[in-house]
Amino acid sequence: MGHQRKKLISLAKRLLNHNLNGSTDQADKIMIKKVNDYIDDDIISSEVSKIFYDHPVPIALSAELKKKNSYKATKAIDTPLLITRGEDGVVRTFINICKHRGAPVCPEGRGEKSKFNCTYHGWMYDNKGSLINIFKSDTFGDIDTKNIKLTELFCEEKSGFIWACLNPDVKYNLSDWMNEFETELDDIGLKNWYIFKSTTLNGPRWKICWDGYLDGYHHHMVHPETVGKNTIVNLIAHDTYGPHQRFAFGLKNINELSKIDEKDWEPENHIRLIHTIFPNGSVSAIQNQHCLVSIVFPTPDLKGTITTQYILCLKEPKTKEQIKEAEDFSELARKAIVDEDYPMNFKIQDSINSKANKEFIFGRNEPIQQHYHKWVDKLSSK
């Protein structure tokens, strides 16, 4: 039996047993979080600095830079990024700021090129970050261009993601940070998937937003015709890998497995598997060879979020039927988040200062959010 099949069967067994017994994976006790932790600017600023800047975070997908000399210019919180894949195939990440006078060296977007002209005065850099030409250098004055490079960030490519530390002073051992979670992500094989569509979404504050990504207790209320149409609410199998998490929901047909010989199980048709990368990445809803990936960053003012949402297909859809299936999956994902999750999150945000609550409560049946907040507290207290 293959590793992936063995894992899925084990998860299906756990969910089947839970459903037959009316149980679910649980935390040891109820967690109480102060509402102030969600809205205090000083607390959030300190947490974001210590968590999003001083540890590796996913900033892009490998599939976005498949070819040599491809690039992506984007922004993470207040840091403009230039991500490049060199002729040597290595991915590097730089702060997208010219050393001359601080202008971007590349407009936001994706494409293929190996040289980047500063948008202000035309200084040119290669995709390894080296300054290779100063416009009208004969009149500029004496300067050693060999010592001028774009500010490079720790960057590593692993498990279909490109990871970076936004703080240029931080270097990291990514394997230590992953805590063997890369073996779970590797099973998905994202680097080989086809990006059908990507878009950016405006969302609510970071913790309010991310609580929604980790919630399996609301499907019947918020998603009755989308996510909740096929999943059993309050039924999860939950596993942790350091700060990262994998959890599975049982589909409403899970009990059918009790009538089928295990060797004939097709567990992927009875569970929905989600991987969440601390603090801002989610891989979910792998159905019929379609996948939703979300990367979420706080806005520069920390009062909202920007989500990059990717719709991926195992292979490039070419027939009308394949394209329709991808479009249908894309619309399902859009509706669940844009029409359902985020509006609910914004309602919470709009009234969070009303003094109705001083605390939020996370039940034992909400171990995923509990684990996340424990790691937020752990890393921000250092």
Q: 347 and 247, same structural domain?
A: yes
In tens, the pLDDT along 119-151 reads 999 999 999 999 999 988 888 988 888 889 999
Q: What is the mean pLDDT of residues 191-199?
A: 96
How far apart, in whole angstroms, are the C-alpha atoms of residue 82 and residue 72? 6
Query: For residue 1, what pLDDT is reported?
Result: 56
Tally of domains in the chain: 2
pLDDT for 351 equals 97
In the prediction, which pLDDT does 365 show?
A: 98
Tokens 């920007």: give the residue.
Answer: 306
- Mean pLDDT is lowest, of 29-33, 225-229, 259-263, 315-319, for 225-229
- 313-329: pLDDT as tens digits: 999 999 999 999 999 99
What pLDDT is stored for residue 154 in this prediction?
A: 98
Residue 285 has a pLDDT of 63
Claim to verify: residue 342 and residue 224 sit in the same structural domain:
yes
Question: Are 11 and 108 in a shared domain?
Answer: no
Q: Is residue 291 part of a domain?
A: yes
> Tens digit of pLDDT for each residue in 167-179?
999 999 999 999 9
Structural domain contains residue 350: yes
- The separation between the first and the last C-alpha atoms of the chain, rounded to the nearest angstrom, is 43
SS (H, E, C) 300-318: CCCCCEEEEEEEEECCCCC
Q: Residues 278-299: what's their mean pLDDT?
A: 91
Place of tokens 């080296």: 130
Phi, psi of 305, deg, nearest 5:
-140, 160
**Confidence class for position 359, pLDDT limits 50, 70, 90:** very high
Does residue 59 belong to any structural domain of this protein? no
Region 207-216: mean pLDDT is 96
What CATH number is associated with residue 103?
A: 2.102.10.10
Domain that holds residue 131: 65-171
Question: For residue 113, what pLDDT band results from cuts at 50, 70 and 90?
Answer: very high
The tokens describing 115, both together, are 């040289």
